[in-house]
Structure 1
Amino acid sequence: MYSHLPSLNGLRVFEAAARHLSFKMAATELQLTPTAVSHQIRNLEAHLDMPLFIRHTRAVELTPAGQTLFETSRQVLRQIDQTLTGLGVGRQSLTINAAQGFASLWLAQHLPDFQNRYPDLRVSVSQSDEPAIEATDINITRQSPATSPPALKLPEQFGLYASPAYLARKQTHQTLMQVRHQSQPEVINWQSWQQAYGTFREAQLIEFDREDQLLQACLAGQGLALTSSLLVSTQVENGWLKPCLPEKVLSGSGYQVITSADNKRAVRLLLEWLSEQLGITQTAV
């Protein structure tokens, strides 16, 4: 059965050489030498007893038989690869522990883009304001352990945000909203805002335990929120929230990305993706 089939490795080398129409480029892709690629092609041609390439001085082209075999081998190899990916073969896991506000308000909004780019990665996300004790590939927190320099620093500023509905209403007295307990070194609240800018002194104050609660209240038009520009970036981009007094901001501590396995492909890809999304530069590799 299947007595005419050549070796799978030979077909893989042939498919790469036919796709590039270059033994040298196929060798680079497959991490082989051009001589090894040429040897594999000659073995395949000998097995089939027919030429697959017309060899010129600086180029190759497919024979009619080579073109037919290329179209079939490309389809079959792609189907095999998709089947193995579906079975989980070669899939790499990526575990992320992120501060609750960042995980729910930024990462959850943007992670589908990362997963669409790299469908072979299995991503698992947990939420905690403290670095995970168990083995975790990436920790995203407001403070990093002294023994682990951050691979990335994610900057942020604190500003005022409100829904269009809230801004459209004529307010006799402003309703100011903030997070009660902030997990960052400096205290950024309405008191520190008023010390810096002296606005909204006569207002009602509402406090929440978490950033996601604050954001939901802000989206519902319940008041003016003092919150992180990073955490509300998606809502601002979509027009669901608007910055108020954008020229007046307070600098926050931002987030730090700590990795435990920088040489892991999934970690490297996530760091590159975060840098791209936020327009920042990696500080360590």
Structure 2
Amino acid sequence: MRRLPPFNALRAFDAAARHLNFRLAAEELGVTQGAVAQQIRGLEAELGISLFERHPRGLALTEAGRGYQPNIRRAFDIIQEATSLLRPGRRHVTISVTPTFASKWLIPRLADFTDAYPDIDVRIVATDRISDFQADGVDVAVRLGRPPFGPDVTADLLLPHVIVAVGSPLLIEKFGHPEVVANFEHYPLLHDAHNLWPRFLENIPSLKPTPNQKAIRFNQTALAVEAAIAGQGLTLAGSLYVEDDIASGRLLQLFGTSLAADSGFFLVSQANAQSHAAISSFTSWLRGVASRDPEPASPPTSANGSAKN
């Protein structure tokens, strides 16, 4: 008879080894920090060896812990794959995306997929947090950044990230074109969490914000875009977030320049994800839609840095 450590203790070790933090491991598992610490102590006592070094500011794996982690992780992957194979009729796919990507790009296009695949249940998890495929039950993620995105995942470039300035036609009619220096100071500047206006205006030396120029700040790009549509000011956003609004006339692209970030939108999945028909169908559709997306209207100027949403 095989003698195995308790399953919950192994789960606690797997989470703590990835986060190197008992609190974050507890949040992932939905238990208390004390429960995670107790599970780890019990596992170490059963194995007769220390798996973590406890430091005032966090954890570190011991040599034994570093050797144990990849095997335990692989064991959980095998269990998940074996369980998935018991459900050959799997007809759902769970996608993790940021709130802005969900509202401004994915959801307006999603009806095409549901019409083509009415038997596949699509589940969207909109969060700025980097999802864990195992713990969160996520099949596919779209993330803005640069690879690598973690061990045992594949990342394929889906769309470039190009930043443009936009404003409401009604606001521009009120204040005049913002490219004119005398007009620009009348425009409130709408900022998201990435604060790209200073970098963007470096490419337009004639325009500089004045000390009295109004600024409104949002923690989500989607909120800044909605404020721009409502005529509350000018904002910067990824071109793919505003392409539909520009096409419909709700927004105008301004200044004839753009910033090309050194990051992009990547399709991230586990290495074995494409073996599931529903996931394969969704990722193939997503790549096809992305390949048909129009290029930015103006030549981009390079910019360093990346954004989350």
1:5-44: CA deviation from partner (whole Å, max 9, x where unpaired): xxxxxxxxxxxxxxxxxxxxxxxxxxxxxxxxxxxxxxxx
Q: Percent identity?
A: 25
1:176 aligns with 2:189: yes
1:167 aligns with 2:167: no
Q: Distance in 2 between matches of 1:280 and 1:149?
A: 22
Q: Distance in 2 between matches of 1:195 and 1:272?
A: 39
Aligned residues: 186
Deviation at 1:279, TM superposition (A): 1.5
The aligned residue for residue 94 of structure 1 is 93
Letter in 1 for 2:174: R
- Is residue 155–residue 255 contact of structure 1 (8 Å, CA) maintained in 2? yes
TM-score by structure 2 length? 0.56
1:249 paired residue among 251, 258, 268:
258
Q: Map 1:28-67 onto structure 2 (within 5 A).
A: none
Which consecutive unaligned segments of at least 5 residues does structure 2 have? Answer: 1-87, 177-182, 294-309
1:205 aligns with 2:204: no
Deviation at 1:198, TM superposition (A): 2.4
- Is residue 91–residue 122 contact of structure 1 (8 Å, CA) maintained in 2? no
Q: Distance in 2 between matches of 1:177 and 1:266?
A: 40
- Is residue 151–residue 259 contact of structure 1 (8 Å, CA) maintained in 2? no
1:157 paired residue among 137, 144, 162:
162
1:259-284: CA deviation from partner (whole Å, max 9, x where unpaired): 12122222222222222222179xxx
Letter in 2 for 1:191: P
Q: Distance in 2 between matches of 1:250 and 1:197?
A: 12
SS in 2 for 1:197: coil
Give the direction of change, closer, same or farther, for the CA distance of 1:125–1:224 in structure 2 (3 Å limit).
same
Give the direction of change, closer, same or farther, for the CA distance of 1:114–1:206 in structure 2 (3 Å limit).
same
Q: Distance in 2 between matches of 1:244 and 1:137?
A: 38
1:58-117: CA deviation from partner (whole Å, max 9, x where unpaired): xxxxxxxxxxxxxxxxxxxxxxxxxxxxxxx95600100101210121112111111111
Give the direction of change, closer, same or farther, for the CA distance of 1:199–1:266 in structure 2 (3 Å limit).
farther
- Is residue 158–residue 290 contact of structure 2 (8 Å, CA) maintained in 1? no
Q: Map 1:103-114 onto structure 2 (within 5 A).
A: 103-114=102-113
Q: CA RMSD in A?
A: 2.2
Q: Which has the larger radius of gyration?
A: 1
Q: Distance in 1 between matches of 2:102 and 2:206?
A: 31
Which consecutive unaligned segments of at least 5 residues does structure 1 have? Answer: 1-88, 183-187
Letter in 2 for 1:128: T
Give the direction of change, closer, same or farther, for the CA distance of 1:199–1:106 in structure 2 (3 Å limit).
farther
Give the direction of change, closer, same or farther, for the CA distance of 1:216–1:199 in structure 2 (3 Å limit).
farther
The aligned residue for residue 277 of structure 1 is 289
Letter in 2 for 1:275: R
1:118 aligns with 2:117: yes
The aligned residue for residue 48 of structure 1 is none
- Is residue 129–residue 141 contact of structure 1 (8 Å, CA) maintained in 2? no
The aligned residue for residue 138 of structure 1 is 140
Letter in 1 for 2:258: V
